[in-house]
């Protein structure tokens, strides 16, 4: 009888001891243990992990190690002048071994740090390319960005890359950089559209003045605006002009 009681007591004591000496960390999760004696932090990964009785933790000390995806959109000037808009994204995940650094920064700081580096590299690369070349081969652009991210630099006598600096500073591992699209910026596309339309209007004016030699440029523009419904019909009628306008519209714009 007493033997069973003693054995049961030993099991209870062993369970209590294990509670103080072991901690279970879920999959894809890291945990920060706090040493109550010296205040130092010790990160551990998933699984059943050893801990000292003087090491403590709270629920907020568990951190997901899953991938984080961030996207950004920036504009850059190409070598021949056009403003290009790049839509890109990247992925990173917290490094279990560097959780003591990761917890010192917030997600916004990490996002800004990565975006600034990627943006600087993209600005340099696109600035050396013609606009059409930048648009055509996204895979080549991605490769160039990654190569520059991995390129070693010398800072304070320590050789490292942009990638290593970001990872060490924020306690993360960079995984993927991807470009979704490279195209002329919306403002630049609108400007090109306006310029193209002005050119066509100029061509239309020339056709109208051939049909009605007495028509000056202002009157020709008014006639075009009236025909397109962009102005009220308050200009004087010129004999045979309506047909000339319609013919010019079809010839230049491909429609009436």
| pLDDT by 10s per residue, the chain, length 256 | 556 545 544 444 444 455 568 888 999 999 999 999 999 999 999 999 988 889 999 989 999 999 999 999 999 999 988 889 999 999 999 999 999 999 999 999 999 999 999 999 999 999 999 999 998 889 999 999 999 998 866 555 565 788 999 999 999 999 999 999 999 877 765 665 556 566 666 666 676 666 656 556 656 656 655 555 554 554 444 444 555 555 555 555 555 4
Check whether residue 60 and residue 72 sit in a common domain. no
Check whether residue 82 and residue 141 sit in a common domain. yes
Check whether residue 176 and residue 194 sit in a common domain. no
Check whether residue 136 and residue 59 sit in a common domain. no
d(CA 177, CA 234): 58
> Domains in the chain: how many in total?
3
pTM: 0.68
d(CA 74, CA 153): 25
Check whether residue 118 and residue 149 sit in a common domain. yes
Among residues 136, 152, 184, which one ends one of the domains? 184
Check whether residue 74 and residue 180 sit in a common domain. yes
Check whether residue 177 and residue 208 sit in a common domain. no
Looking at residue 136, its pLDDT comes to 87
Among residues 64, 81, 102, which one ends one of the domains? 64
**Mutual angle of helices 186-211 and 217-227, in 10-degree steps:** 110
Using a CB cutoff of 8 Å and minimum separation of 24, what contacts does 201-204 make?
A: 203/252, 204/248, 204/249, 204/252, 204/253
Check whether residue 169 and residue 105 sit in a common domain. yes
Check whether residue 180 and residue 210 sit in a common domain. no
| Residues 6 or more apart whose Cβ sits within 8 Å of residue 186 | 85
Report the DSSP beta bridge partners of residue 183.
Answer: 85
Looking at residue 244, its pLDDT comes to 57
Among residues 135, 151, 184, which one ends one of the domains? 184
**Structural domain of 12:** 2-64
């Amino acid at each position: 009888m007493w033997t069973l009681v003693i054995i049961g007591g030993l099991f209870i004591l062993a369970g209590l001891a294990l509670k103080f000496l072991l901690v279970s960390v879920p999959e894809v999760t890291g945990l920060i243990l706090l040493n109550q004696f010296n205040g130092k932090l010790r990160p551990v990964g998933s699984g059943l992990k050893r801990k000292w009785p003087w090491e403590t933790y709270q629920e907020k000390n568990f951190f997901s190690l899953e991938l984080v995806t961030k996207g950004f959109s920036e504009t850059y000037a190409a070598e021949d002048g056009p403003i290009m808009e790049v839509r890109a994204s990247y992925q990173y995940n917290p490094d279990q071994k560097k959780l003591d650094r990761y917890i010192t920064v917030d997600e916004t700081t990490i996002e800004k740090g990565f975006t600034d580096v990627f943006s600087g590299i993209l600005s340099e690369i696109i600035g050396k390319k013609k606009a059409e070349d930048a648009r055509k081969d996204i895979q080549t652009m991605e490769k160039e960005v990654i190569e520059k991210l991995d390129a070693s630099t010398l800072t304070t006598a320590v050789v490292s890359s942009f990638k290593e600096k970001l990872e060490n500073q924020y306690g993360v591992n960079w995984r993927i950089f991807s470009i979704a699209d490279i195209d002329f910026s919306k403002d630049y596309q609108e400007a090109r559209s306006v310029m193209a339309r002005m050119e066509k209007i100029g061509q239309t004016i020339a056709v109208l003045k051939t049909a009605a030699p007495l028509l000056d440029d202002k009157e020709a523009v008014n006639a075009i605006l009236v025909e397109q419904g962009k102005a009220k019909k308050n200009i004087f009628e010129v004999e045979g002009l309506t047909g000339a306008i319609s013919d010019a519209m079809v010839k230049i714009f491909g429609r009436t």
